Copies of this chain bind each other. A is one copy, B any other.
Amino acid sequence: MGAVNVRGAAPKQDRSRATRQRLLESAVTCLAEHGWTGSTVTVVAEHAGVSRGAAQHHFPTREDLFTAAVEYVAEERSKALRSPARGLPDERSAVGMLVDLYTGPLFRAALQLWVAASNEPQLGPRVTALEARIGRETHRMAVELLGADESVPGVRETVQGLLDMARGLGLANLLTDDSARRDRVVAQWESIVRDALAR
Which positions in A face B, CB cutoff 8 Å? Answer: 33-35, 37-38, 108, 111-112, 114-119, 124, 127-128, 131, 154, 157-158, 160-172, 174-176, 181, 184-185, 187-189, 191-192, 195-196, 199
Contact = CB atoms under 8 A, between A and B. Distances in A.
A35 B115 contact: yes
Counted per complex, copies of this chain come to 2
Q: Among the interface residues A117, A154, A157, A174, which one has the most CB atoms of the partner chain B within 10 A?
A: A157
B111 A192 contact: no
Nearest to A127: B175
Nearest to A172: B164
Contact of A185 (B33, B157, B175): B157
A165 B171 CA distance: 11
Of all A-B residue pairs in the complex, the 10 with the closest CB atoms, nearest first, are A167-B168, A168-B168, A164-B168, A157-B188, A35-B119, A165-B165, A161-B189, A161-B185, A192-B196, A115-B115
A161 B192 contact: yes
B35 A175 contact: no
Nearest to A160: B185
Nearest to A39: B119
Contacts of A108: 118
Contacts of A118: 35, 108, 174-175
B175 A171 contact: no
A164 B175 contact: no
Nearest to A131: B175
Contact of A160 (B111, B115, B181): B181
Q: Among the interface residues A175, A184, A195, which one has the most CB atoms of the partner chain B within 10 A?
A: A175
A127 B174 CA distance: 11
Q: Among the interface residues A37, A118, A166, which one has the most CB atoms of the partner chain B within 10 A?
A: A118
Contacts of A196: 192, 195
Given A163-B168, A164-B169, A188-B158, A111 B119 contact: no
